[in-house]
Amino acid sequence: MEVQIFGIKKSSDTRKALRFFSERRIKTHFVDLNERAASLGELRRFAQKFGVGALIDSSSVVFQDLGLRHARMSDDSWLSKLAEEPLLLKMPLVRSGSQLTIGLHESTWKSWLTP
């Protein structure tokens, strides 16, 4: 099993996700969104399962600074904005094969580990 985690090192939930998998000796591939943004295709994968709204962290400082509270955009426009401004994303985004989660979901991750 291999897990891909999108987040930033300053995010406590991202650090908890990294620790969760490392404690269980699961190989992780960490994508630091401060260094490299998630691709549009990767974001679409999460949006197809959860909806674009689930990806947006409306409580983030970046969201407030950009004045997006009253923004009305299409899903494609939001995905482009999230690709440009990865700090707007709820973190961590975790993927293992076709299984996906947004945010801290230890109970779901545990279910991935049991056959």
User: What does the CA dihedral 26, 50, 111, 39 come to, rounded to 10 degrees?
Assistant: -10
Tens digits of residue pLDDT in 66-108: 777 777 777 888 888 888 888 889 999 999 999 999 999 999 9
Tens digits of residue pLDDT in 5-42: 999 999 999 999 999 999 999 999 999 999 998 899 99
What are the φ and ψ backbone dihedral angles of 99, each rounded to 5 degrees?
-90, 135
Distance of CA 92 to the CA centre of its chain: 4
Sequence ranges of the domains in the chain: 2-113
Q: What is the CATH number of domain 2-113?
A: 3.40.30.10
% of residues, the chain, pLDDT over 90: 63
Q: Which residue has the tokens 């779901």?
A: 108
* Per-residue pLDDT, 70: 73
Query: Strands, DSSP E only, in the chain?
Result: 2-7, 27-32, 93-96, 99-102
DSSP per position, 61-92: HHHHHTT-TT----HHHHHHHHHH-GGGB-S-
* Per-residue pLDDT, 9: 93
